[in-house]
């Protein structure tokens, strides 16, 4: 799985499944359920740490299911996109069409579906702000479309479960000045590059904010900047990132996460909660 995760760690899985379309996806899930094989959905693997011994089951990637449909409105457009589409690529495509609403999320890695699952956001904006509806495949193989009113989002959280798959989503975007949108995206990219350790493999933010306070402040106050276990290291640039300096293992990262949580709690009385998903650590 180190080939399919942004942290570049993780052992083997028994099956890697690429459905060609929605019917193919439902068929694959039915077979896996009938055979009693556990499965997980993966997009670009930007928010997961997979155990060094891998995952005892199947990984389903929907990145080959492609859908992009624009319906122009008086204010802009209603856009339907596949859950497995690159979020960064989707935002870039909208910008080229002069459609605004998601540009503050530019350069967030991962897929549209992954972004919805964790209600991805940056610079005061969240993906749910312009979301109209989501079509989800649940763990029983049923497809349901939920509109925005039926969905309750919160900070880095959505009602879409880890066992569910976002097949497609609909966004309502507004017409904007193409040059201004691209300037905003450029600003977001420069700020991200300045603040985040983009030069090393990582899984983005490791811990959720505590109330309205960002987690990095507590890691910083606990004196953990640059703390290393093996080749897993608390980033010098942003202390809510753990980076892989080259040969880190998933266990190195897990041990470092546990050490951070322990020291922050002992020194500051703050209980940090992971934003990143840990796969296989309870199964092995």
For residue 3, indicate whether it is catalytic.
no
**pLDDT tens-digit series, residues 80-116:** 999 999 999 999 999 999 999 999 999 898 899 999 9
Bridge partner residues of 244 (DSSP): 232
Catalytic residue among 67, 97, 156, 259: 156
The pTM assigned to this predicted structure is 0.88
Between helix 178-195 and helix 87-96 the angle, nearest 10°, is: 150
Domains and their CATH numbers in the chain: 13-61 (3.30.43.10), 68-194 (3.30.465.10), 197-279 (3.90.78.10)
Q: Which residues of 209-240 are buried (b: 16+ CB within 10 A; e: fewer)?
A: bbeeebbbebbbebebeebebbbbbbbeebbb
Structure confidence at residue 283 (pLDDT)? 57
Is 275 in the active site? yes
> Using one digit for the tens of pLDDT, what is the confidence trace for 243-255?
999 999 999 999 9
Which of 126, 128, 202, 205 is an active site residue? 205
Q: Cα–Cα distance between 171 and 67 in angstroms, integer?
A: 13
Backbone angles phi, psi at 135, to 5 degrees: -105, 120
pLDDT of res. 156: 79
Q: Is 30 a catalytic residue?
A: no
């Amino acid at each position: 799985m180190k080939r399919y995760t942004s942290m570049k760690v993780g052992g083997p899985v028994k099956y890697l499944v690429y459905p060609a379309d929605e019917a193919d996806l439902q068929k694959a899930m039915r077979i896996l359920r009938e055979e009693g094989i556990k499965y997980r959905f993966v997009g670009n693997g930007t928010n997961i740490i997979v155990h060094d011994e891998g995952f005892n089951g199947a990984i389903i990637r929907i990145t080959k299911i492609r859908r992009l449909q624009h319906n122009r409105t008086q204010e802009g457009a209603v856009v339907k996109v596949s859950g497995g589409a690159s979020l960064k690529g989707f935002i870039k495509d909208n910008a080229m069409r002069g459609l605004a609403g998601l540009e503050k999320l530019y350069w967030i890695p991962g897929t549209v579906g992954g972004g919805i699952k964790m209600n991805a956001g940056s610079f005061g904006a969240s993906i749910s702000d312009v979301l109209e509806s989501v079509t989800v495949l649940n763990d029983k193989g049923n497809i349901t479309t939920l509109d925005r009113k039926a969905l309750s989002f919160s900070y880095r959280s959505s009602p879409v479960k880890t066992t569910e798959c976002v097949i497609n989503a609909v966004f309502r975007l507004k017409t904007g000045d193409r040059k201004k949108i691209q300037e905003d995206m450029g600003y977001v990219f420069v700020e991200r590059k300045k603040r985040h350790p983009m030069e090393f493999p990582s899984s983005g933010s490791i811990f959720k904010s505590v109330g309205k306070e960002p987690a990095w402040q507590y890691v910083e106050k606990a004196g953990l900047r640059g703390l290393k276990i093996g080749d897993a290291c608390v980033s010098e640039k942003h202390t809510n990132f753990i980076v892989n300096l080259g040969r880190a293992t998933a266990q190195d990262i897990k041990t470092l996460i546990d050490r951070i949580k322990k020291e922050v709690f002992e020194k500051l009385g703050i209980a940090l909660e992971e934003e990143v998903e840990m796969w296989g650590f309870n199964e092995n």
